[in-house]
Structure 1
């Protein structure tokens, strides 16, 4: 908890744990979405400056804050005014859809012709979409995500046991069950079926904004365009619920970003702010490079 001279109160939730073998504080951990300061009306530059001074004074090996695209400006301004020691910025590329124009405008003018065509194809072929609230449909979601991870592992020449271990460490099913328990009906599992088979899935956490933070598809069923219909209906649902933005998560620079732009989302590069008393990131990148070379990993 922080309090300014004017009595303004704010909070920076930091998860304390271990980063590998190093003590760490993170807001939020790399696999748990965005973090940053919680303050009335959003964080201001002077708020962030107070937080930065506090973080720089703590005796922790690694600290990181990922405020996301909507809160990045205040962090960037404060960071430039007082660059802390042993600190650096790591850029992230994400996609964000502004829902404020409304569903009709987004459907007609933000979605591409290819996307609207995909929706029609999915409808004609009998694709059905359902949404489970809370923990409903999580078992089917996780089963498809496991299959998708194994498919990617084959393409990237990664051992299946390693891909499965990474998934269960990064995204154990228990994590999603815990989120569902906390959020209740604000946690949505979107699921599309084609001829009785699960063709595509997506997880959406909803509040003032909607956060689409995990998705998977059955590559064998991509011809039915289930993903187009599922994504469109999830966006429509967020619009009708009054959400301001639909956040589609990390994108990189490849085809994933192009897919999101078909729904009107726009790319944003926002900074993750890191404090490191030891060169942890450099050591981790070196270790990953060595492992990838040993197994013949293909990016």
Structure 2
């Protein structure tokens, strides 16, 4: 892929913009920015591009004072620019946003927004990590609207002993002890070997989710597998290697529950979970898996354990809050010239009303 370098005038002076961003520079900035998440790494962009119709559109901004800021970004392939999309990230790929050592000032944030506003793509979207949104919110042009998102983040400072005693709620500690008495066997895999078992549990979970949400099973299977196909998990496990851990709880030789946890630097992310409720719920298998994954993150020196959002409903939010997480804002800023997504959302809402859908 050819590299483009342009100079753009901004209130911060002339800014040199390189796209796609050089991988070496990206890794250097990610290493220097302690808040960088696995979803802001080149490996994650490669996963997005390998499993969807996207190409690398990342942008490196170099300011006159020597500051550098990198924005992970993908563009949709095989569409005319006026119908195109450039996002960080699309769909359910999670948090993207800028990688930059140190705080971003308002002139730098405005320079990036102005550059994105000039992009020919119909839709531009950037999902910011928690803690980054204040400077960007003040600098966002009027044509970028904010879409609210919330993630549940557990502070790991003080180590696992502190987390267990001071942050886990009593119900979590009780659930873990119950799980430890339930003859569960737990293993962790960092090679991708357990991907088929995880996906088997995921497929079982679809039927339960469909019933809870009053959704036809055939539609639920199509929708869930479209959003999270098996080859996506296989690709992430392959490309992230040891940074992708699958934790699996067995009961009497049958898989009861599984979670996928990703890690980069001081940040850990609970990415996916699935279970056989008949086996997992009575044994509190999910409590045990989360406890072990959190302890593992603490041992690896992680400072935060991100448990993601809770769009599936209040029960999931309560489960995550019981581990002592804080609900933090992680907004997406979107500019769209033609309201294609608004029309699509309207159609989806009409279908959901027709089937009395009760989920996300």
Normalised by the length of structure 1, the TM-score is 0.93
Q: Aligned partners of 1:267 and 1:54: how far apart in 2?
A: 31
**Which residue matches 1:61?**
122
1:48: how far off? Answer: 2.1
1:40: how far off? Answer: 2.6
1:157: how far off? Answer: 2.4
1:74: how far off? Answer: 2.9
Contact map agreement 1:11 1:37 (CA 8 A) in 2:
yes
**Which residue matches 2:108?**
47
Q: Aligned partners of 1:3 and 1:287: how far apart in 2?
A: 42
1:183: how far off? Answer: 1.0
The change in CA–CA distance for 1:44 and 1:139 in structure 2 (over 3 A counts) is farther
Residue 272 of structure 2: which of 214, 220, 224 is its match? Answer: 214
1:87-166 matches, cutoff 5 A = 87-166=144-223
**Which residue matches 2:259?**
202
The change in CA–CA distance for 1:293 and 1:19 in structure 2 (over 3 A counts) is farther
What's the Cα RMSD here? Answer: 1.9
Could you list the per-position Cα deviations for residues 219-267 of structure 1 after superposition, in whole angstroms to 9, with x for gaps in the alignment? 1121111010100000000011001110011124611111011111111
1:44: how far off? Answer: 4.2
1:269-284 matches, cutoff 5 A = 269-284=329-344
1:124: how far off? Answer: 0.7
**Which residue matches 2:238?**
181
The change in CA–CA distance for 1:188 and 1:70 in structure 2 (over 3 A counts) is farther
Could you list the per-position Cα deviations for residues 15-34 of structure 1 after superposition, in whole angstroms to 9, with x for gaps in the alignment? 11179994111101121111
Aligned residues: 295
The change in CA–CA distance for 1:101 and 1:197 in structure 2 (over 3 A counts) is same
Equivalent position SS for 1:214: strand
Structure 1 gaps of 5+ residues are none
Residue 302 of structure 2: which of 243, 256, 280 is its match? Answer: 243
Contact map agreement 1:133 1:189 (CA 8 A) in 2:
yes
- Larger RCO of the pair (alpha carbons < 8 Å, separation 6+): 1
Contact map agreement 1:134 1:186 (CA 8 A) in 2:
no
More deviation in 244-253 or 186-195? 244-253
Q: Aligned partners of 1:20 and 1:67: how far apart in 2?
A: 26
The change in CA–CA distance for 1:18 and 1:169 in structure 2 (over 3 A counts) is farther
**Which residue matches 1:37?**
98
Structure 2 gaps of 5+ residues are 1-59
Q: Aligned partners of 2:186 and 2:233: how far apart in 1?
A: 20
